Amino acid sequence: MGRVSSISCARPGCQGKVAAWLTYDYGAQQLWIDDVPGASGDHWGLCQGHAARLRAPLGWSALDRRAGVAGAPPVTGAYPPAGMAGLAT
């Protein structure tokens, strides 16, 4: 995993070390949070803090698939549908 650890958080202005990966599918309005980058789709690296505070845009479904947070409540939210820029932290 050393390869990805050198990448910093995708959130603007954040230099945090990537701790989780966000993969999203615009067509399905679905996003996933994983320990490793998804095999398909677009994915962004997020630091621990931003991954923990991630909220799905209104109308989207979110699923946290990280092994370390199994059983955690699903990530849901009610934010304006503004694409990835609307992902509130």
| Distance between CA atoms of residues 72 and 70, nearest Å | 5
Q: Which of residues 34-63 bind Zn ion (CB under 5 A)?
A: 47, 50
Q: Which stretch binds Zn ion (CB under 5 A): 5-13, 35-43, 59-67, 76-84?
A: 5-13
For the bound state, the minimum distance from the C-beta of residue 5 to Zn ion, rounded and expressed in Å, comes to: 14
- Strand extents, DSSP E, the chain: 18-25, 30-34, 42-47, 61-64
Helix, coil or strand: residue 72: coil
Q: Nearest approach, Cβ of 27 to Zn ion (angstroms)?
A: 26
Sheet of strand 30-34, all strands in order from the earlier edge strand to the far edge: 42-47, 18-25, 30-34, 61-64
C-alpha 62/C-alpha 54 separation (Å) is: 10
* Minimum gap (Å) between residue 52 Cβ and Zn ion: 10
How many residues line the site for Zn ion (CB under 5 A)?
A: 6
Nearer to Zn ion, 14 or 29 (CB): 14
Q: Which positions touch Zn ion (CB under 5 A)?
A: 9, 11, 14, 16, 47, 50
